[in-house]
């Protein structure tokens, strides 16, 4: 990973890509989603502050654990003056995301445990197939899949999808 001399305060997109490990296209995407920002030179080229390195590292770390970009953007936007997240910010935010990760891990574990039933089947039934109905939207009405009995009831008048 190339080092950027300390005296350089702004990075080109290529430098940011090389230093962060994120593809240039990913950096453009992050910018389009409001996760990082740049200024434009007189030649209309992007320049990123050195803080962008930490923001990109933050975004990529959060993405690796499955946090949606919208959630990451919301977290970044809540920082005072949209400053770059520091160590304490990461510790606090990652703690709040833990329960969501635990929920997903639990759900993935259920999907993994029941995938065997689906291999070679192909029915994709909402009543019996955990892949078709992973959130078990009918579970609490005791119709359809009962793999996740704690799932919420669909709103009145909404029966959800039919098998």
Binding-site ranges for ligand FES (CB under 6 A)? 117-118, 121-125, 128-129, 131
Which one, of 153, 155, 156, 120, lies nearest residue 136 by Cα? Answer: 153
Q: Give the list of residues 6+ apart from residue 40 with CB closer than 8 angstroms, or none.
A: 46, 47
Please state the closest distance from residue 143 (CB atom) to ligand FES, in A: 16
Please state the closest distance from residue 102 (CB atom) to ligand FES, in A: 25
Cβ-based nearer residue to ligand FES, 61 or 131: 131
Cβ-based nearer residue to ligand FES, 57 or 118: 118
DSSP lists the bridge partners of residue 48 as 11
Unique residue bearing structure tokens 């209309």: 44
Question: Count of alpha carbons within 13 Å of 99, Cβ hemisphere only?
Answer: 2
Please state the closest distance from residue 159 (CB atom) to ligand FES, in A: 21
- Helix, strand, coil percentages, rounded to 5, for the chain: 50, 5, 45
The secondary structure of residue 72, as a DSSP letter, is H
Please state the closest distance from residue 91 (CB atom) to ligand FES, in A: 40
Say how many C-beta atoms besides its own lie within 10 A of residue 25's C-beta: 10
Cβ-based nearer residue to ligand FES, 134 or 160: 134
Please state the closest distance from residue 139 (CB atom) to ligand FES, in A: 16
Angle between helices 24-32 and 13-20 (to 10 degrees): 110
Cβ-based nearer residue to ligand FES, 66 or 163: 163
Cβ-based nearer residue to ligand FES, 105 or 123: 123
């Amino acid at each position: 990973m190339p080092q950027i001399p300390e005296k350089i305060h702004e990075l080109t997109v290529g430098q940011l890509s090389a230093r962060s490990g994120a593809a240039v296209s990913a950096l453009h995407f992050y910018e389009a989603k409001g996760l990082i920002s740049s200024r434009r030179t007189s030649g209309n080229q992007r320049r990123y502050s050195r803080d962008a390195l930490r923001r990109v590292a933050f975004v990529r770390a959060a993405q690796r654990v499955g946090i949606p970009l919208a959630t990451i953007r919301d977290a970044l936007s809540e920082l005072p003056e949209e400053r770059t997240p520091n160590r304490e910010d990461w510790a606090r935010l990652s703690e709040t995301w833990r329960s969501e990760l635990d929920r997903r891990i639990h759900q993935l574990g259920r999907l993994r445990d029941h995938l065997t039933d689906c291999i070679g089947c192909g029915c994709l039934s909402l009543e019996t197939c955990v892949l078709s109905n992973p959130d078990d939207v009918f579970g609490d009405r005791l119709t359809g899949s009962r793999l996740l009995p704690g799932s919420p009831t669909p709103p009145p008048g909404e029966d959800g999808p039919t098998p």
